[in-house]
Chains A and B, each alone.
Chain A
């Protein structure tokens, strides 16, 4: 029997300390009363109050959420269709090109995706702003969404769909009453992944955004370039907290779903 010894414990503790200490320090200093980041001036929520009075930052946050909601929905929808096409149909015209285009954004550097989409928007004389960022984000997260759904479809029991078809259901009815209810946890996971990818993105948004459509990462980036400030720490802490709550809730939800599936 393999044993979990002190070496393993040390590797775990050091590994997770490396991953988490920087974030813990960042959170701790958001509660620092002093503006000087090196001096601990006592506990304070001052910077959070300042944050909620920073209108440009709040506008940027609201815009980022709106972009993420729409682009994640587009990416999850398109990614699900792409996953269905790739797992269900082994050969159709242009399948190789299609799978290449779906997967390429996964390894494409963000600077190239951003640059190429901007050049498209310029060539098409499209006014840049909210919608150009939405389209760009949906395009680059489509591949990630597709992979998540594909993994679920790989272990899918086709006989259920066939039963529905034999009982006279149309392909569309079969999809909405049989397929979709069975793969929805994957679609939800794909949506969440696309949502966070969009929230997180600085580079592609910087290329494809226009005047008046500054996202939160863009605003944070320009603030960070000016230097460290407790207000940025406070903004980061709120974002970390929101993401942690969402990820833990989702994993609990999916676990319960999996347990229910095992019982049913």
Chain B
């Protein structure tokens, strides 16, 4: 990538980056620091007046003394909060597994399909991603609600006469999540499976491997990068999801996104909502790091 004209290294890059850089400093980093500050504020009055002195940095000392971990302590003490984190992780994990189980055969079949179909099949997977999230969730309300389309279909088939009462349960949340995030799982899987070298499969077959053995020893290991990428794309946004648990879940569906929303909008406890957000970010960063490690190991 070396051109005939030596390029000025530092200065011009910063010049091109300047506008988006300043924008992000103002509207991404600054808000984030404010969240951190507010999460640590709203000091309890009985806090012992502890003012550490850092070599005359009185201002800094006062600033640190003003911070308090009250909100974070509450997150640890009140079962509602840590249970909502656990429940979010559980629902996101289940969503990922089900999306993988459904998405893998679909992606595999797409990759196997005749070349002239592949463009249209890809478009069909991407299209739901462009349609509104809210609409896709709403479509499931009509299906899952009592005497909705699912109950009607089951009654018509003679499979069930009682309403299933799926709406406002964790099952409904799972269905909605899998439905909404399935394209995110299928796309990276399709990309890796499509690039998979067919001669390897043929070689294994020539050597007498059964289709199941071929899948287990050739196809599956080679598609691991796609599995990891798809899982990350489903798992990470699923943890912080708000719309699906709110509309499809019931009053006992606990998810962090919902807790944060109601702390903010219903209880109007901004410092606590900020603390919930900070802990959620920590919960999100951990699996990302682990996935990155796993991805590096797979390569």
Question: Which chain A residues border B108 with CB–CB below 8 Å?
Answer: 8, 11
* Contact of A19 with B128 at beta-carbon distance under 8 Å, contacts A4-B113, A111-B240, A115-B264 already known: yes
Chief secondary structure at chain A's binding surface: helix
B12 & A2 in contact (Cβ 8 Å cutoff): no
Interface size bracket, B side: 35 or more
Cβ-neighbour of A243 out of B10, B121, B131, B270 (below 8 A): B131
When the two chains form the complex, which single residue of A85, A119, A202 contacts B134, counting CB atoms closer than 8 Å? A202
With beta carbons under 8 angstroms apart, the residue of B12, B109, B257 that contacts A111 is B257
* Complex CA–CA separation, A200 to B140 (angstroms): 17
| Mask of B89-117 contacts with A, CB within 8 angstroms, 1/0 | 00000000000001101101110111000
Contact A101 B135 (CB under 8 A): no
| Interface members, chain B 1-24 (any A CB < 8 Å) | 1, 3-5, 9-14, 16-17, 19-21, 23-24
Bound together, the chains give a CA A165 to CA B4 distance in angstroms of 10
- A117–B31 CA distance with the chains assembled, in angstroms: 5
Q: How far is the CA of A232 from the CA of B135 in the complex (A)?
A: 9
Q: Which residues of B lie under 8 Å from residue A246 when comparing CB positions?
A: 130
Q: Which of A91, A135, A202, A239 contacts B9 (CB 8 A)?
A: A91
B interface residue numbers (CB < 8 A to A): 1, 3-5, 9-14, 16-17, 19-21, 23-25, 27-32, 34-35, 38, 102-103, 105-106, 108-110, 112-114, 121, 123-128, 130-136, 138-143, 145, 147-149, 152, 179, 182-183, 186, 198, 201-202, 236-237, 239-243, 247, 257, 260-261, 264-265, 270, 273-274, 277, 280-281, 284, 288
Contacts from A to B (Cβ < 8 Å): 1-4, 7-9, 11-12, 14-16, 18-20, 22-23, 25-26, 29, 37-38, 78-79, 81-82, 84-86, 88-95, 98, 101-102, 104-105, 107-112, 115-117, 119-120, 123, 135-136, 138-139, 142, 146, 158-159, 162, 165-166, 171, 196, 199-200, 202-203, 206-207, 217, 220-221, 224-225, 228, 232-233, 236, 239-240, 243-244, 246-248, 251
